[in-house]
Structure formats: C-alpha cells, structure tokens
Amino acid sequence: MKAIAIRPGTPDSVHLLDLPLPALDEVPGGRGVRVSMVRAGLCGTDADLAAGAYGVAPPGEDVLVLGHESLGRVTEVGPAVELPLGQLVVGTIRRPGGSAYDRIGRSDLSADPVFIETGISQAHGFMREELVVDAAYLVPVPDELEDVAILTEPLSCITKSLRQADQVQARLELWQPRRALVTGASTIGLLATLALRLRGLEVVTYARREPPYRNSELVERVGARYVSAVETDLPALAEHDGPFDVVFEGSGAPALIEPAVAALAPNGVAALFSVTPGSRPMTVDMARLNQSLVLYNRVLVGSAAAAWADYAGAVSTIGQAQAGDETRGWLHQLLTDRIDGFVAAAIARQLAGDGDHVMTTVEIGPGT
C-alpha cells in the first residue's frame, strides 16, 4: 500500500513509500480494527519533521510515515471490537510507553524521555491507505461532521489545555473567567479562539501579521478581537484590554511568555501549548516573574498531546460549532488547501512553503 514518509533528521526527504498491508491479528486480544483512510492533515509539526528538526523512526527502521491528523472508516474488526463497519473514526496520537502514566492509560502525560507519537516519534503515521490499530486508539465521529473532522486532533490539544486549566482553577472556590487572550493565529490559535468563544468568554487574539487577512477575519467572525503585534506590543494590549483570566499561548514565541503572564488577572491561569524547536536564549527578569506568580496566585500550565476523552470532547465542540448560527461553516474555512492522493512532490512543496494557508488536507480515499 502507498504511504508518505520521511527520513527523520534528513531535510527534504519526503517520499512515496510502499508498505505491506497490515494483518488484523497484529493487534492481540481480538481488538484489531482495519481502517481505510479518508484523509490526513498537514500542519506546522509536519513541516518541522520534513525540515529535519526532529522525528524518530520506529525501532529497526530508518523511515517514518507522516500524518498525525487523521480521518478514516472502519472496514474490518476483530471479535472483541464493538465499532460498527463503516464507522467514521479519528486516531489518537500517543501510544503507551513505560512510565506509570502510560500504564494507567494516560500516555498524553507520559514521563518517558522520548514519547511514542503516531507520525512523529517511533510509530508510523496515518498518511497511508490503510492501517490496523487497537480499538482503544480510535474515536468515533458522526457522519455529519465528516467534512471538518480532520480538525479533531488539533482541537483535542486545546480541549486538554483548557480542561487542565479548569482543573487547576478548582483550587479557587470561585472561578468565573470572563476575558481570554490567545497568542498566535495559526490553526491552534484559531481553534483556541473558537473554543473560548463557545464558552462565552471575551477573546483577544494577538499575532504578528497586520490585518486584514484570512486569519484575522476568521477571528473576528466568531466575535473575538484581532490585534497585531506590529501595531501594539503585548504590555500595551494588556493595559488596554486586560487583565485576562485565561491566556492560551499558541504562538511558540518564547519572548511572549513573560508578558503573557504579566497580562494575567490575579488568580489567572496561562496554558502553554506551543513549543519552538532549538534554542532561543533570552533574558528574563525572574524576580519579577516570581513575584507575579506568587503574590497574585497565578499559574502556568504546560500541556502536550491529548487523552481519548479530549478527542471525544473535540468532536463535541466541532458539533457545537457546526450547529451554531454564528459559527456554522466557520471550520470549513480553516481547510484552505487540498492535495489529491499521495503526490509526494506536492506534499513536499506544501510543507516547505510559507503560503497563506491554515490547514492542508491530503485526500486519500473516498468519503461518504
């Protein structure tokens, strides 16, 4: 079967790969599910992988199949599986490692030094014609959400970040957030803006590019306010529009973390999601940062990957957005580019480019 792969650590190594078809009994206990892939997504993580910034091939191999954003249909199941044939599903990314958290089914909290992540590290991804996987790693999706369900994985990460923020804020006997700041207006920043607006918060989304352009217009269409870093620095924004009860850091810009913390209201929480590969040395006034956190009971929460429940929560949020009068059709506008089939050259060009796109889908098989 066809697949799209890279050689981890080797820039510009995107290529077409031929893999043997997997057998259903590769998964023990009768829990195997054969999935025919409908589409996969391309995002900034895939671009970093294609550039050689990181990535780990499965043990004993020198290539890694890409794809951690997925959508497929169940075509065959083992005797211990209850999923019906034809069920639309998305796959979770993390696979169990050796830490205590992995052993209780929370691989998204794995304490292992190297994670097992589908399409990223030590496990082949979803950008192939078929896969066989344990039913525990599949999340059902209603057919009516097929067109936008490819956004489930990135939205699951936001769902987890905000869930963890809520859990931390349970320390407060009163938690009624009203204002939120989102830094970054890429796919993650846009979806965070949507999720926070659906919760009823006032949202300001802060990013580099000057408006108007597609992403700034998408922010405003869900009732949030877009502010460009070219026009206003973050301290000035915080003084004018803050303080913020919640900050979601989705830009991957280390220089924004300190002023984002300063923009928090007393008892506020900042959820840090994005990371920047490599090293970015900078000077931080740790005394002021420490005072800000301690004296005003502010909290920083780091978050990576997502649990099965967060994927299910993301599916619910997608359904809520598709049903809302103000948000219906908004998610479709995030799917800005499409590649039909396993065209390695087109995929490589898309990953190497910096065009005006939000998410690119690779169409693999027929939908409904």
Q: How far apart are CA 273 and CA 268, in angstroms?
A: 16
The answer to which of 10-14, 64-68, 357-361 has the lowest mean pLDDT is: 357-361
> How much is the mean pLDDT over the chain?
95
What's the mean pLDDT in 206-215?
96
Across 316-339, average pLDDT? 96
Q: What is the mean pLDDT of residues 148-173?
A: 96
Over residues 270-299, the mean pLDDT reads: 86
**Average pLDDT of span 228-237:** 95
Q: Please state, in angstroms and rounded to a whole number, the distance separating the CA atoms of residues 331 and 336.
A: 10
The pLDDT of residue 47 is 94
Residue spans of the domains in the chain: they are: 2-148+334-363, 155-302
For the cut 90, the answer to whether the pLDDT of residue 353 exceeds it is no
> Whose structure tokens read 């409908």?
38
Return the SS3 of 145: helix
* Cα gap 341→327, rounded to integer Å: 30
**276, 254 in Cβ contact below 8 A?**
yes
Q: Which amino acid is at 363?
A: E
The β-bridge relationship of strands 122-123 and 116-118 is parallel
Taking the C-alpha atoms of residue 36 and residue 27, their distance in angstroms, rounded to an integer, is: 16
pLDDT band at 355 (very low <50, low <70, confident <90, very high): low
Q: How confident is the model at residue 134 (pLDDT cuts 50, 70, 90)?
A: very high
CA pair distance 304, 323, nearest whole angstrom: 28
| Residue 367 confidence (pLDDT) | 59
Secondary structure class of 255 (helix, strand, coil): helix
The answer to whether residue 253 scores a pLDDT higher than 90 is no
The pLDDT of residue 288: 87
- pLDDT of 254: 85
The residue assigned the tokens 């869930």 is: 163
Nearest to 365 by CA among 76, 132, 75: 75
Fold of 2-148+334-363: Quinone Oxidoreductase; Chain A, domain 1 (3.90.180)
Mean of pLDDT values over 144-160: 98
Give the per-residue pLDDT at 277: 66
Tokens of residue 190, six digits: 């846009």
The class that CATH gives domain 155-302 is: alpha beta
**Amino acid identity at 243:** P
Give dist(CA 306, CA 93) in Å, integer: 8
* 111-131 pLDDT per residue, tens: 999 999 999 999 999 999 999
Residue 192 has pLDDT above 80, yes or no: yes
Q: On the CB side of 230, how many CA atoms lie within 13 Å of its CA?
A: 6
Give the model confidence (pLDDT) of 272-283 as tens digits: 987 776 777 878
Domains 2-148+334-363 and 155-302 fall in the same CATH topology: no
Lookup: tokens for 9:
């650590």
* Lowest-confidence region among 234-248, 249-263, 277-291, 338-352: 277-291
Stretch 81-104: mean pLDDT:
97
Which has the closest alpha carbon to 145: 228, 88, 227?
88
pLDDT, residue 274, reads 79
Task: Fill in the amino acid letter for 286.
Answer: M
